[in-house]
Amino acid sequence: MRYDLLTDREKWSVISYIEDMNNENNRRALIVGMGISGMATAIRLRQIGWEPVIVERAPQRRKGGYFVLLWGAGRASAERLGLGPGVADHTSPDTVHYEVDRHGNRTSMAILGNLPDGPRMMRRGEVEDAAFAALPGDVEIRFSTVPTKIEQDGDGVDVTLHDTVNDETVTERFDLVVGADGLRSTVRRLVFGPHERYMRPMGGITCAFQLSRPLPGLAQEDTAVQLDPDRGRAMWVFGFRDIIPTVMLTYRTDDIDAEFRLPPAERLRQVFGDRPTGKLLGAVLDEADTVEDILFDSAEQVRMDSWHRGRVVLMGDSAWCVTLYAGMGVSAGLAGSDLLGTMLRRYPDDLETAMTEWERRLRPVVTEWQESAEPMRQWFNPLGRREALIRRFWTRGEEWPVIGHYVRQFFMRGRIAKNADIAAA
């Protein structure tokens, strides 16, 4: 049998078999959270011979349809993890980018249009679908299950797991626990301490969802942005080549807790519907009334001095949430999961060294992505006249012969070739 003729899944099976043969004491890992980072970690650990078990709080696999970008680091890791064939690029060469107002006036603008080796455009749910399809069939998945207690010693971790459907509790032992359970991670709270110690609010709300149909007066592949710098609010419609657009609504607020006292659609109408909305924004708010899967959350980053403690490690948003503004969440999750497996394979008998080397290599890149979030927030949702003028310089400057080079360098910083292979073996 020729190895070069095998499919990605068949190649993985061969590699997994060899790793299993070389791993007499099969190590067991608990992965908390079945998002992109959690499934990617399970795939990578299984590739190197570990036995991953995934637990997920939700009763079934969740599917978010909002817009994401996959940059160089994420693309390289997606290929190694076997997600490549399932992660389609919906970028359209015919896309026109517009700035629109509530009266229907529109002006064409530049948005990342000339970046070399630019990002792939897709929906988050497609990456999750690809990760689920790449999961080996022997990986155990338990829905409606949450950890309630985590205790570790030098040889392993005892985790108490609660089945919320059957109201049953069991304690099991693992060699490693991976917290990939999101911004408000249960694993982080149990092992590292309260959320308030690590979460850094950016003073805003982000809401994203998949539309059910193209919007009136806007071609399906076109992108539109409606800004209101005086009120610190913005609407983005992200067009794709061959699928229905997605939407992001974002706004500034001084009282994050108050934003969750109403259903998302009702709160969005309070924030955006104070004047005649116009056809575009009006249609988006109508869609928010009926959409089933909607992301509505505060824009907050997670800042930690260490992402691991003993045999417990945090992954993705649990460890370093970069926010939607940075546009690197999916790439960071894939690269971090990929690199973790590489370090565990490189130091199979020294978990602490593996974790330390994983952080040493990944942290500078993640820090750069996090630091880009505030400048990108000003680009997505400028607040006040000064930020609006700076944003206008960015969008218009990309088309200028000399200044355009520096504008593109800003968007490229920390995103493309420089970090394309940070998780390579």
Query: pLDDT tens, 67-100?
Result: 888 888 899 999 999 998 788 888 888 888 899 9
Q: What per-residue confidence (pLDDT) applies to 20?
A: 46
Q: Which residues share a beta bridge with 157? A: 152, 174
CA-CA-CA-CA torsion sign (13, 17, 22, 25):
positive
Q: What per-residue confidence (pLDDT) applies to 91?
A: 86
Q: What per-residue confidence (pLDDT) applies to 348?
A: 95
Q: For the chain, what is the mean pLDDT?
A: 88
Is the predicted pLDDT of residue 409 greater than 70, yes or no? no
Query: pLDDT tens, 231-275?
Result: 999 999 999 988 999 999 999 999 999 999 999 999 999 999 887
pTM of the model: 0.89
CA distance 253 to 233: 10
8-state DSSP, 242:
S
- Give Cβ neighbours of residue 389 (< 8 Å, ≥ 6 apart): none
* Residue 309: HSE in the Cβ half-sphere, 13 Å Cα cutoff: 15
Domains of the chain: 3-61+125-198+301-372 (3.50.50.60), 85-124+203-299+376-412 (3.30.9.30)
The average pLDDT across 42-47 equals: 98
| CA 66 from centroid of its chain's CA atoms | 11
